Amino acid sequence: MAHLMPRNTAIKLIDKYGTNCPFEIAERKGIIIIFESLGGSLGYYTCYKRIQSIHINDNIDETLQRFVCAHELGHSLLHKSENAPFLKKNTFFTTNKNEVEANTFAVELLIPDKCIYEFKDTSVTINEVAQTYGVPEEMCNLKKIDHIK
């Protein structure tokens, strides 16, 4: 059940905006994206006086920046009134409810079901699909695929 809200939110966003690009969705929602040096942190989300912003480390590769943007976009939608702590690589393994929801949202946004359908009759693994769409391997287990036949 924990996967339902992030998954449904991602599906609705893709339907509404006609894209699964987290940068485009954030921009269209009026969320400011800031690329900056964040040291060992990947990114974080803030909401101050109703101004939402996603901060992304400009020293990580573009593929990971895309995942970080999707993750922080998840926080902006699922935990809007809460500022999200810095996302670090070890956050991928957290059991914190908000972080798991943001990770699940990011995975569902970046690997929508139609992407899984493309590979269903092949020998391609979920890890390979995730790599194709820029999702860290550590996140593959969050993609809900049991309903795909």
Told to judge if 99 belongs to the known catalytic residues of this protein, a careful annotator would answer no
Of these residues, 24, 36, 72, 138, which one is catalytic?
A: 72
* Pick from 147, 146, 116, 121: nearest CA to 133: 116
Q: State the DSSP code for 39.
A: T
How many whole angstroms separate alpha carbon 32 and alpha carbon 101?
A: 21
Beta-carbon count within 10 A of 104 CB = 26
Q: In what order do the strands lie in the sheet with 51-57?
A: 32-36, 51-57, 43-48
Q: Which residues belong to the active site?
A: 72
